[in-house]
Chains A and B, each alone.
Chain A
Amino acid sequence: MIAVDPAPDTLAVRAGVLFDAFRNGDRARMGELVSLVTPILWHTVRAQNVPQSSAEDVIQAAWLALVRNADAISDPRAVLQWLVVTARREAWRTVKAERRVDPQDFEADDLIAPTDAAPEPTVVREAGQSALWNHISQLSQRCRELLRVIAFADRPDYAMLASALGMPVGSIGPTRGRCLAKLRAQLIADPQWEV
């Protein structure tokens, strides 16, 4: 097993603390857990190209599943991972039900995704943002999904989240991994890009 840091203050740890308190009878902590974790679940689900309204249902379903299965989660620190896995599975089911998807889209990591697979940025104002958007769009669907989700977490959680997203070990954390390496190489090669 990977050595665990002595309780760093990360999204996963904060979520675990709230969930533990909820399970021990402090019911109000669930509301805080919802506001803490819903953003990363939103990006997890939307990264799978689930339409906006279905994405809301998917996330709602994941939270209800958590309440109903609260006692089945042995380690409260795993609650973030559990929610991401559940939301992603539910998203996958929804996408499959709504339209036929070529499974290749979700497996071939090195393919350049077709441009229509990238969600449209509706409000990208600064030049830097649109450059970053273009670089992200050149990554594969899987890499975009990984980077989008881990961007909403803290560094010690990256490896756990990558595994929750079904990525191979070493996809990110403690090393950079290939997805972020590709983005970094593109940014280095972009003379317009400033760190």
Chain B
Amino acid sequence: MSDDSMPSIDTLAAAELDVDDIATLRRVAALYDLADPVPDGLVERIQFDMTLDALHAEIAKLQRLESELVGARGGAEPGATEVQTVTFTSPSLTTMVTITPAGAERVRLDGWAAPGAGVRVELRTEGADRTVVADEDGRFVFDDVPRGLAQFVLRSGTDPAKPPVITPSIEI
């Protein structure tokens, strides 16, 4: 089981944990932190998802992605110059958003939510969140939006108790 100098595994195993063990485990933690760290942004992504979940949000589905220049797609920079329309649906709301290029790395978003009169539309992008209120026809506009990941949160303008509708993130 053991040689002259080395206590057996059983003896070592039966002994109480000591400060050397704790020091070794700290080094084990440091090693794994280095070799396989928690990915950047994971904690934030989970926190964000849980906020949505805690709101009992209605999750909208991305219904279709249309391009007015279908033939031009598939290049190295899809979306760089074309107008795109995306539609999100959920049980209580349908939202259509047209994405129009507006200068370098910027777009304009023209949206229409139905039924959407007075709906508060929040646009979440990596830089900042912006909120506008849809007009009586359910139309809303976000000007000068940086390209990148974007997500919409739509809340009833009249009934604060109604669960918000959240869209998946899309690349605009």
Task: Give chain A's interface residues, CB within 8 Å of chain B.
Answer: 27, 30-31, 34-35, 38-39, 42-43, 46, 52, 56, 59-60, 63-64, 67-68, 119-125, 128-129, 132-133, 136, 147-148, 150-152, 155, 158, 172-178, 180-185, 187-189, 195
| Smallest beta-carbon distance B43→chain A, Å | 5
User: Does the CB pair B38–A132 fall under 8 Å?
Assistant: no
Pair A185/B36 contact, Cβ less than 8 Å: no
A119 touches B36 (CB 8 A): yes
B17 touches which one: A42, A124, A176 (CB < 8 A)? Answer: A176
**Interface on chain A toward B: helix, strand, loop, or mixed SS?**
helix
CB of B48 to closest CB in A, whole Å: 9
In whole angstroms, what is the CA distance A68 to B52 when docked? 12
Q: Do B53 and A67 have beta carbons less than 8 Å apart?
A: yes
A181 near B12 with CB under 8 A, answer yes
In order of increasing CB-CB distance, the 6 nearest A-B pairs are A181-B12, A181-B13, A121-B35, A151-B29, A151-B28, A151-B25
* B10-53 contacts to A (CB < 8 Å): 10, 12-17, 20-32, 34-36, 38-39, 42-43, 45-47, 49-51, 53
Q: A31-B47, A43-B32 are in contact. List 17 more A-B contacts (CB 8 A).
A: A31-B51, A35-B43, A43-B36, A52-B39, A59-B42, A63-B46, A124-B35, A125-B34, A151-B25, A175-B15, A176-B15, A180-B13, A180-B17, A181-B9, A184-B20, A185-B12, A187-B24
Q: Given the interface contacts A155-B17, A177-B13, A184-B12, does A64 sit within 8 Å of B24 by beta carbon?
A: no
- Residues of B near A173 (CB, < 8 A) are 17
Q: How far is it, in angstroms, between the C-alpha of A65 and the C-alpha of B20 when the chains are bound?
A: 37
24 A-B interface contacts by CB (under 8 A): A31-B50, A34-B46, A38-B38, A38-B42, A43-B36, A60-B46, A120-B35, A121-B31, A122-B35, A129-B34, A136-B28, A151-B26, A151-B29, A173-B17, A174-B17, A176-B14, A177-B13, A178-B9, A180-B24, A182-B9, A183-B24, A184-B12, A189-B6, A195-B24
How many chain B residues sit at the interface, stated as a range, is: 35 or more
**Chain B: which residue is nearest A133 at the CB level?**
B31
Expressed in whole angstroms, the Cα–Cα distance for A43 and B29 within the complex equals: 9
B17 touches A63 (CB 8 A): no
Q: Roughly how many angstroms separate A121 CA and B31 CA in the complex, as a whole number? A: 9
CB-nearest residue of chain B to A179: B13
Q: When the two chains form their complex, are residues A176 and B13 in contact, meaning their CB atoms are under 8 A apart? A: yes
B104, CB-defined interface residue at 8 Å: no
Known: A35-B43, A188-B6. A174 touches B16 (CB 8 A): yes
Question: Across the interface, which residues of A come within 8 angstroms of B14, CB to CB?
Answer: 175-176
CB distance from A2 to the nearest CB of B (A): 14
- B54 at interface by CB-CB < 8 Å: yes
Most buried by B among A27, A42, A121, A183: A42
Q: Are B13 and A178 in contact (CB under 8 A)?
A: yes
- CB of A143 to closest CB in B, whole Å: 11
| A119 partner residues in chain B, CB cutoff 8 A | 35-36
Contact between A132 and B9, CB atoms less than 8 A apart: no
B23 to A, closest residue via Cβ: A195
- Give every chain B residue within 8 A of A125 (Cβ-Cβ): 34
